[in-house]
């Protein structure tokens, strides 16, 4: 028997990696697809057998992993699960959320954060005007409505959970607190992607706050710091026509992405905004215009991913 030694040949990896392939290369090639992929029941998630199946997945006779619900593919290391699109927000400690005050009670506020139960914001978990750090007194409790009252919108961070499954929030950082000078948008929580920061300033000159609970705030950009004005003021600043149009265009672009179940982050919102410039603001919520905008966003995202893989 004779043996022939051949020179090494580099292996070409594609989206469909062999089950016995290198897991590190598999993770690298499929990471972007998992982060932005929306699947329907019965749709193929991955061919690879190295992944462990989480909620919303199952395997068929050929060990391919399929989706059992409609949602967004979520990957943590080797664990794959599906976050359903139509579901309430199930948070984690450290999540940034946007909420609306629903009730003022004894030393606490109840906050609607699109979860199964209202979250709780304790009086001891907020900043006092001017950033003063001290123990809250009975005088502070008597003027709680001067800080937050029913109907106010705020951005906060999930601090912990209670035994009944509700969340506790805090606004101790100065960038958290009452929201003003903008517009409110609601999308499915599963579409909002986790990233390093959820506070963005878009090229069009508006501020964007992405709540992981599906509540999004689009507001006027300001160069003032929080200390320069009252952090609990209810007075909105003057917004000119140009800024109003930019805010409305961004909100309608987000609604278009949400309606077509596209993942929402600062990049896709910027692409949708650029695609919307070909249409008047009042036409952006028309179904045919939404299709054109989302198709253009999808094409640009595909080309960007192809360029990154080269």
- What angle in degrees, to the nearest 10, is found between the helix axes of 241-259 and 266-276? 110
Higher confidence at residue 4 or residue 167?
A: 167
Asked if pLDDT for residue 245 goes beyond 70, the answer is yes
CATH code assigned at 47: 2.40.50.100
Domains identified in the chain, total number: 3
Report field, pTM of the whole predicted structure over 0.85: no
Q: Is residue 220 in some structural domain?
A: yes
Lowest mean pLDDT among 14-23, 140-149, 296-305: 14-23
CATH code assigned at 168: 2.40.50.140
The closest of 270, 261, 279, 258 to 297, measured between CA atoms, is 270
Grade residue 250 by pLDDT with cuts at 50, 70 and 90.
very high
pLDDT in tens, 124-141: 999 887 666 778 888 889
Strand locations in the chain (E): 38-39, 44-46, 52-53, 57-59, 65-67, 71-76, 79-84, 96-105, 108-112, 119-126, 153-161, 167-171, 177-178, 182-186, 199-201, 206-210, 215-220
279 and 198 fall within a common domain? yes
Provide the β-strand partners of residue 58: 66
Lowest mean pLDDT among 76-80, 175-179, 208-212: 76-80
Q: Is residue 4 in some structural domain?
A: no
For residue 107, give its domain range: 88-179
Asked if pLDDT for residue 34 goes beyond 50, the answer is no
Instruction: Quote the pLDDT of residue 223.
Output: 66
């Amino acid at each position: 028997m004779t043996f022939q030694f051949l020179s090494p040949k580099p292996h070409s990896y594609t989206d469909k990696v062999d089950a016995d392939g290198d897991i590190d290369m598999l993770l690298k090639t499929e990471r972007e697809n998992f982060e932005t992929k929306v699947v329907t029941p019965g749709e193929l998630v991955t061919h690879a057998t190295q992944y462990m199946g989480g909620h919303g997945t199952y395997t068929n006779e050929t060990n391919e992993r399929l989706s059992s619900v409609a949602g967004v593919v979520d990957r943590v290391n080797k664990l794959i699960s599906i976050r359903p699109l139509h579901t309430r927000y199930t948070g984690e400690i450290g999540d940034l959320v946007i909420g609306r005050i629903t009730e003022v009670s004894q030393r606490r506020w109840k906050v609607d954060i699109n979860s199964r139960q209202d979250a709780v914001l304790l009086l001891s978990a907020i900043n006092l005007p001017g950033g003063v750090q001290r123990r809250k007194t009975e005088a502070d409790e008597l003027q709680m409505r001067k800080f937050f009252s029913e109907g106010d919108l705020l951005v906060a961070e999930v601090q912990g959970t209670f035994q009944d499954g509700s969340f506790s929030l805090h606004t101790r950082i100065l960038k958290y607190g009452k929201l003003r000078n903008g517009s409110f948008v609601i999308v499915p929580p599963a579409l909002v992607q986790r990233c390093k920061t959820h506070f963005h300033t878009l090229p069009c000159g508006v501020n964007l706050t992405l709540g992981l609970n599906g509540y999004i705030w689009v507001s006027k950009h300001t160069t003032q710091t929080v200390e320069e004005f009252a952090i609990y003021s209810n007075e909105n600043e003057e917004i000119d026509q140009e800024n109003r149009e930019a805010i409305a265009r961004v909100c309608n672009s987000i609604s278009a992405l949400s309606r077509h179940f596209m993942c929402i982050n600062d990049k896709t919102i910027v692409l949708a905004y650029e695609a919307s410039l070909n249409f008047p603001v009042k036409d952006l919520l028309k179904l045919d215009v939404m299709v054109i905008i989302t198709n253009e966003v999808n094409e640009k995202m595909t080309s960007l991913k192809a360029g990154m893989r080269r």
